[in-house]
Amino acid sequence: MGRSAGMFEALEGGGAAVTLDEIEISILRSLAVQLLELIGPGAPEPDEDADPLAVLFAEGNEGPTERPSDPALIRLFPDAYGGPGPEDRKVDPQELAARSAEFRRFTENDLRSHKREDALAVVRSLDALTPGGDGAALLELTGELPLRWLGALNDLRLTIAARLDITEDDESAMLFRLPDDDPRKPMVMAYLWLGGLQETLIETL
């Protein structure tokens, strides 16, 4: 198909394209579906005639205030306050927790909806592919799809990183020293592969 397998390349006129084989399509789709299940439902669809502010502050539209217990969800929906910044360190921890809960209450449902749309865009894009006789298919992303895919790829990597307990500090050391018989090896390989897709997609934008 004239393109490097497994790497996004720029399309003339904008957008990106990548050649995927059947196994890669299956893995990507499976990961995106699992991400959808993890994220769960987002905010309900608003009435087109409703006042946006009224919708935002409607009791039924309020999101959770508690920090999620799943490490992967914590990566996807981190606290807005209480980070390593100097300003946060000056504030009482209980006050930071209250601020984070209030922020989460009014933003998490919308964030979930956005992440669901990104993951759904991946599933729909893959479902529309028709592999050729060699089992490979050319995926072309135009319009808003490259950004949708970037968001989903990032969320997938955050989720896998949480499952593997990967942090920025120990990422490289941990990733490249696992023996082949380590049960985490397939997830590590998926993490690295998704990183390559993400990096080359960014380069096309």
Q: What is the token pair recorded at 23?
A: 């196994």
Q: Which pLDDT value is given to residue 8? A: 93
CB 136 within 8 A of CB 5: yes
SS (HEC) of the chain: CCCCECCCEECCCCCEEEEEEHHHHHHHHHHHHHHHHHHCCCCCCCCCCCCHHHHHCCHHHCCCCCCCCCHHHHHHCCCCCCCCCHHHHCCCHHHHHHHHHHHHHHHHHHHHHHHHHHHHHHHHHHHCCCCCCCCEEEEEECCCHHHHHHHHHHHHHHHHHHHHCCCCCCHHHHHCCCCCCCCCHHHHHHHHHHHHHHHHHHHHC
Each of the 205 residues of the chain gets a pLDDT tens digit; together they read 444 556 899 998 889 999 999 999 999 999 999 999 999 876 555 555 656 555 445 554 566 567 778 889 888 888 776 555 555 555 666 776 777 677 677 777 888 889 999 999 999 999 999 888 888 899 999 999 999 999 999 999 999 999 988 876 655 566 767 888 888 888 988 998 999 999 999 999 8
pLDDT, position 140: 94
pLDDT (0 to 100) of residue 101: 73
pLDDT for position 169:
61
Q: How many residues does the chain have?
A: 205
| pLDDT given at position 124 | 96
Rounded Cα–Cα distance for residues 99 and 87 (Å):
13
**pLDDT score of 63:** 62
Residue 24 near residue 10, CB atoms below 8 Å: no
pTM: 0.79
